[in-house]
Chains A and B, each alone.
Chain A
């Protein structure tokens, strides 16, 4: 086997124990720690002990832990994540219905982060130690400290309530939501297929504030890194050479320096996905975005135990898959990375 394919196989094999540990962790947290799911779910409500026992039996939590563990793992292997108490549908169905919404939000969040991050980073690096550089750097450092849910609410107050430019929340305006037929679950894609400009504009408008909110913290981090990376590249001899040849500064920065500066940053991009999923919890809650993360929060509020476990497992599998893809992509970009 060649280098790359062997690496991919090895990396894939490494994902299995990692995923197994994550799944075991979820199991331990939710089943073995004090307080069993049934009393957490029904506790405080006026329920007879007999009914609690009946529920325990129904959920299988009255059986020995090892048996539960094996059942849990084989369930996941068969794609069976249990049945939601709230909706009485399989958790997998619920999750796959909401997954496109989360992916769409994450994609545009990263998109905003990239544009804003690289933009401010380059601006700052090319004007190092000038006033604009100081302002941008303060913004980069300060952006870490902004709570996402607060930012989302502030954007809602300013752009939706006060100015009335953009909708407050959800994915579609009321009237359009009645007639809109989604095929893939990615609303922007679907609306583009439909070709109705009114619908496209409505979907896009609903995406703006959530995407900015989700991408904000990433924007600061990317900006900071692209500034540092750009400064380093601008010191290199080939940049001096390009300038000495009489090229315009814009050409030097955009085509000579930028490409090399981006290499180290691209790798971090994928690793941001875990943080992005964490941010999605708050963003989806604030904007009533019907995604996987807000489903988890709703399930926690309703103490819908199978749904909580299913969502966490789903997110764990998703994160492992993303990490695997990022690592493999990186090995194509940078041939030095081999195990």
Chain B
């Protein structure tokens, strides 16, 4: 199973990066990809009641606030619910929002970056200034303010978190466009009569894909943390639904009495998933820049 997965991913990465056996020595990348895949698999399966040992939302037969035991691996909460069942099904909102937000910011940011880099002049200067302004502002505070404006829930979180990352993609694609635009071969096709749209789609876009892939992995890692923070502050899914950030906020109330299991396990899940995305980013960066790997940064 794992072998098939790695082979499949190897094929994808090879197609994208055009380097043969790209994954062969990329242990970091492999660990990251497998982690994320497992999280996706478990989260999807855990939305069905036959997969979780107990019902994560309505379960009343267990003792209240009991520490980890064999029956309840991660203990129970104040409403007699099994923490393990909640933890394995609690990644839904994080994953949906993270992927949704990155997809949103990637498409908007890249398109703006291409247009800005290609047109130049006043439009480029003003767009760059606006993007720099957004970029300089603390992303967590911006996301919280936006969610406060839009309201709680998955949709508003996608918009808020997505908006915050737009400048990142804008910068990456714009820089790439400026570089490619000056290349001799682009001048040549331009002279032959290729239009701007064609140059962007056929020559600029493929060149930016690699950098965007690395950036988006790091963004996904960051988005998982941002979503967790938003849920922790109470802007996530409405209460009975299992969610890591919200469950940690709930566990905070029972912290003084020493119920450590309520916050420990959801937190470890957030770390593992965010780390998984981060490692993919590290791996891709190593692939793109082998010098980086040799320097062992």
Contact = CB atoms under 8 A, between A and B. Distances in A.
B9 interface: no
B140 A153 contact: no
Contacts, number: 143
A275 B234 CA distance: 21
Interface in A131-155: 137, 141-142, 144-150, 153-154
Of residues A21, A162, A277, A286, which shows the largest number of chain B Cβ atoms within 10 Å of its Cβ? A21
A297 B232 CA distance: 12
Interface in B120-155: 129-130, 132-134, 136-141, 144-146, 148-151
B297 A145 contact: no
Interface residues of A, number: 55
B252 interface: yes
A312 B271 contact: no
Nearest to B259: A157
A191 interface: no
A61 interface: no
B278 A145 contact: yes
A315 B133 CA distance: 13
A154 B264 contact: yes
Interface in A66-103: none
A25 B132 CA distance: 12
A313 to B, nearest CB: 11
A17 B129 contact: yes
B252 A18 contact: no
B289 interface: no
Interface string B239-269: 0000001001001100110101001101100
A150 B141 contact: no
Interface string B259-287: 01001101100111011001100100000
Contact of B275 (A145, A275, A300): A145
Contacts of A247: none
Interface string B9-34: 00000000000000000000000000
A310 B141 CA distance: 13
A125 B134 CA distance: 35
A286 B245 CA distance: 13
B296 interface: yes
Interface stretch (B56-64, B182-190, B203-211, B221-229): B221-229
B255 A157 contact: yes
Interface stretch (A50-58, A177-185, A316-324): A316-324
B297 A154 contact: no
Contacts of A153: 248, 251-252, 255, 263, 267
B136 A150 contact: no
A60 interface: no
B263 A150 contact: yes
A61 to B, nearest CB: 14
Contact of A150 (B140, B221, B248, B282): B248
Interface in A315-339: 315-316, 319-320, 323
Contacts of A40: 149
Nearest to A303: B148
B48 interface: no
A227 B296 CA distance: 9
Interface stretch (A28-36, A107-115, A202-210, A260-268): A28-36
A301 B144 contact: no
Contacts of B145: 29-30, 296, 300, 308, 312
A308 B136 CA distance: 19
Nearest to A146: B271
A162 B140 CA distance: 31
A12 B232 CA distance: 38
A201 interface: no
A149 B274 contact: no
B206 to A, nearest CB: 29
A161 interface: yes
Interface of A: 17-18, 21-22, 25, 29-30, 33, 35, 40, 128-129, 137, 141-142, 144-150, 153-154, 156-157, 161-162, 168, 224, 227-228, 231-232, 274-275, 277-279, 281-282, 285-286, 293, 296-297, 300-301, 308, 312, 315-316, 319-320, 323
Interface of B: 129-130, 132-134, 136-141, 144-146, 148-151, 221, 225, 228-229, 232-234, 245, 248, 251-252, 255-256, 258, 260, 263-264, 266-267, 270-272, 274-275, 278-279, 282, 295-297
Given A142-B275, A153-B263, 10 more contacts: A30-B145, A33-B150, A141-B282, A147-B232, A149-B248, A154-B263, A161-B258, A278-B138, A278-B140, A296-B145
